[in-house]
Amino acid sequence: MDKGKISALQFALLMYLYIIGTAALVQPHTLVSIAGQDAWFSVIIVGIIQLGLITLYMKLGFRYPKQTIIEYGRILTGKWFGSAIAVVYMFYFLILTAYVARNIGNFIGSVVLPQTPLVVNMVVILIPVLYGCYLGIEVIGRTGEILYPWAMGVFVITALLLIPKMHPGELFPMFPEGVMPAIKAGYPLLGFPSLEISICLLLIPFVQNQQKIKKYFYVTSVGTLISGALLSVITIMVLGVDMTARSPYAVYDVAREIRIERVLERAEVIVGIIWLITSFMKLLICFYGTVITTVQCFDVINYKSLVIPFFFLLLPLSLWVLRNTAELEWSGIVYPMMAVFPGFVIPAALLIVGNFRSRNKQGSEAQTQPQSQLQPQSQPQSQSQSQSLPQSQMQSQSQPYPQPE
């Protein structure tokens, strides 16, 4: 098991990069194709639900701060049910890692390096992921701390450079068909990436100052909500609804609109690299969560021994999980159904079982109090009776018997 530790700030930065991740590339296209110009409202709805999920995870994580969900799942539900929960999370994070790796490979193959084979692109991105997982959680935390300012800086500069290209009229009319399209668009966004935040239940035990996690985590969630809404709004105002709905990587196409005379052009490459960094961090965290879950599922002593075998398992699995870009639309419908069990059902059930068992334990302790605590009153009563005796009687009792002559 990994003995490394990270700070609460590093944990929050990792979760921000994890939530943004590949969702920033796919999110505008998916939302706009369903909700149109009201895609920003879908982000707000899902963001509120995401705050509720974080509250659930925090209650469960703080109840067992030194254990992961695999460890206290076995304690609460027993050996067999706990092992079943561990297997569910192991396969879930494995499929999620393959899904994220395939999204990154598709992005590189279709936008950055279209002439390069897909397998080569995925091997190139998986090798540093392999190395980062081998080094442990401390290196992962420091990497996120270094890459976060660069990602946010490029995002802010890009948004400022796109102001002349923005057309606020593309956002109107608001809700032409009511609120239901925006609610429907929140369904795929809820599965990818909101329910995926359950990976924090594996990372909380590695945080040093856990009393600060809650504050930082809520700030992170609000930050991802604002970032997602701004991405949708900027993309719609620059490209329009029709172009955004047709573009699978709308954020990259938005950056192509940055042109400052002949001084600054082709800025989309820089933006693509930044989004590749955030996607890399999500892939790294998913891969690390898969390895840690497997270690605790099968009681493996050294987690580093599983890094290379998982690399050879992940590569063909990522090629199988999405065979082409057309299946990406279909996976947006099926994937949330799969993510709801490890993301909500299992944590909620464990929290209910934990509360129920703690109440039963308190009730049994109250009923089995030792009788010595219930009968200490006899001794004080005898003392009070002795104090209430007349003084003459006490003196007569204290006088010795007369000695025979």
Peptide bond into 149 cis (omega under 30): no
User: Within 10 Å of residue 355's Cβ, how many Cβ atoms?
Assistant: 12
Report the DSSP beta bridge partners of residue 6. Answer: 207
The answer to whether residue 178 sits within a structural domain is yes
Percent of the chain with pLDDT over 90: 48
pLDDT band at 369 (very low <50, low <70, confident <90, very high): low
Mean pLDDT taken over the chain: 84
Quick one: how far is CA 153 from the chain centroid? Answer: 23
Higher-confidence position of 323 and 218: 218
Does the predicted TM-score (pTM) go above 0.75? Answer: yes
Give per-residue pLDDT as tens, 151-184: 888 888 888 888 988 999 999 999 998 899 999 9
Total of domains in the chain: 1
Return contacts of 251-259, CB within 8 angstroms, 24+ apart.
251/24, 251/25, 251/28, 251/275, 252/25, 252/107, 252/111, 254/158, 254/162, 255/158, 257/162, 257/165, 258/158, 258/161, 258/162, 258/165
3-state secondary structure of 249: coil
pLDDT at residue 26, rounded to an integer: 75
Provide the 10 A C-beta neighbour count for residue 379: 9
Residue 347 lies in a domain: yes
pLDDT at residue 259, rounded to an integer: 78
- pLDDT for residue 340 is more than 80: yes
| Structural domain harbouring 82 | 8-361
Residue 104 belongs to a domain: yes
Q: CB–CB of 108/272 below 8 Å? A: no
Identify whether 377 is part of a domain: no
Length of the chain measured in residues: 405
Q: Which residues, other chains included, contact 343 with Cβ-Cβ below 8 Å and sequence gap of 6+?
A: 53, 191, 194, 195, 196, 197, 198
Q: Is residue 48 part of a domain?
A: yes
For the residues of 300-327, what is the DSSP string, one character each? -S-GGGGHHHHHHHHHHHHHHH-SSTHH
Beta bridge mates, 264: 260
With CA atoms as reference, report the closest residue to 267 among 154, 166, 167, 156: 154
Mean pLDDT computed over 315-330: 78
Which token pair is 369? 């109090």
pLDDT for 377 equals 47
Q: Quick check: 34 and 181 in contact, CB under 8 A?
A: yes
Helix (H, G, I), strand (E, B) or coil at 288: helix
- Locate all alpha helices (DSSP H) within 108-161, ordered by sequence: 118-135, 137-161
- Distances in Å between the alpha carbon of 63 and those of 57, 211, 385? 10, 12, 50
Rounded Cα distance between 192 and 297, Å, is 25
Pick 365 or 198 by higher pLDDT: 198
Give a yes or no: residue 43 inside a domain: yes
Does the residue 148 lie in any domain? Answer: yes
Q: Which residues fall within 8 angstroms of residue 38, CB to CB, at 6 or more apart? A: 174, 175, 179, 181, 182, 185
pLDDT at 325: 65
Q: Are 246 and 42 in contact (CB under 8 A)?
A: no
For residue 256, the model assigns a pLDDT of 85
% the chain with pLDDT above 70: 87
d(CA 258, CA 161): 7
Instruction: Look up residue 320 and give its amino acid.
Output: W
Q: What is the pLDDT of residues 301-313, one digit of tens each?
A: 888 888 999 999 9
Q: Give tens-digit pLDDT for 71-114.
A: 999 999 988 999 999 999 999 999 999 999 988 888 888 887 88
The predicted-structure confidence for 25-82, as pLDDT tens digits, reads as follows 778 888 998 999 999 999 999 999 999 999 999 999 999 989 999 999 999 998 899 9
Q: For residue 299, what is the domain's CATH number? A: 1.20.1740.10
The Cβ-side half-sphere exposure at 225, using a 13 Å CA radius, reads 17
* DSSP conformation class of 299: T
Reading the block at residue 29, the tokens are 């296209």
